[in-house]
């Protein structure tokens, strides 16, 4: 039996319209104890994810835990792309046990969810495991998560993968939403986000454009 290839994307690839993003507890107190990733890189990756989602109009939930009494404000890099959006503050460590968050998940109505936040082993594992139990298709952005040690982060990542969650990275998230450089309506936005928060790749985009007037997807 032969298989015929077609130029169509795999069903597991993300698109801007097929999922909701949930960004959890990117807050001062949570970041102070995060040791699995450098805080500068964490903030950069969180900004990359937030800006990618906002630019591609991905429905996004921003949630905090004990914002006023303990954990402090959410990173401005995460909130800035969503001006005026309400932060859903919780008492529960497991976001999935908060009625207001679940109400918003149901209002958005996406069966595919992407998670990022602090800490991986508590505030990410909890909702990931719970959402999977309820039949959702779940992804998490591993380098936009962090924990009190590399060991804690890695064991949490392994646990989520064993449960069926799909790991990805922040730059991967941005580029998977774009996926084709022929999509000219989002080309400048995507390369702009990459230049600002895309690390060495972003430097390369800036260099190519400045030195040669080059663009992604151009053919010689």
- Ranges of each domain in the chain: 20-179, 181-220
What is 20-179's CATH superfamily?
Isochorismatase-like (3.40.50.850)
Count of Cβ atoms closer than 10 Å to residue 83 Cβ: 7
Q: Are strands 20-24 and 88-90 parallel, antiparallel or unpaired?
A: unpaired
* Pair 25, 70: CB distance under 8 Å: no
Write down the pLDDT at residue 219.
46
* Pair 16, 128: CB distance under 8 Å: no
Give, for all 220 residues of the chain, the pLDDT tens digit.
899 999 999 999 999 999 999 999 999 999 999 999 999 999 999 999 999 999 999 999 999 997 777 788 999 999 999 999 999 999 999 999 999 999 999 999 999 999 999 999 999 999 999 999 999 999 999 999 999 999 999 999 999 999 999 999 999 999 999 999 999 999 999 999 999 999 899 888 888 878 877 676 654 4
pTM, full prediction:
0.94
């Amino acid at each position: 039996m032969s298989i015929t290839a077609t130029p169509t994307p795999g069903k597991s690839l993300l698109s801007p319209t097929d999922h909701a993003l949930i960004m959890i507890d990117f807050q001062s107190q949570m970041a102070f104890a995060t040791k699995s990733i450098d805080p500068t890189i964490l903030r950069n990756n969180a900004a990359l994810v937030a800006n990618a989602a906002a630019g591609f109009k991905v429905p996004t939930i921003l949630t905090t835990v004990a914002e006023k009494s303990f954990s402090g404000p959410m990173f401005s890099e995460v909130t800035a792309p969503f001006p005026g959006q309400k932060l859903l503050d919780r008492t529960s460590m497991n976001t999935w046990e908060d009625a207001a968050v679940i109400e918003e998940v149901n209002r958005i109505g996406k069966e595919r969810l992407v998670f990022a936040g602090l800490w991986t082993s508590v505030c990410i594992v909890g909702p990931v495991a719970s959402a999977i139990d309820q039949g959702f298709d779940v992804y998490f952005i591993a380098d936009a998560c962090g924990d009190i040690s590399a060991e804690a982060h890695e064991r949490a990542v392994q646990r989520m993968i064993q449960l069926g969650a799909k790991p990805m990275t922040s730059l991967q998230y941005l580029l998977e939403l774009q996926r084709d450089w022929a999509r000219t309506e989002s080309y400048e936005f995507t390369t702009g986000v990459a230049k600002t928060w895309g690390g060495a790749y972003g430097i390369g985009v800036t260099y190519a454009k400045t030195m040669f007037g080059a663009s992604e997807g151009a053919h010689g």
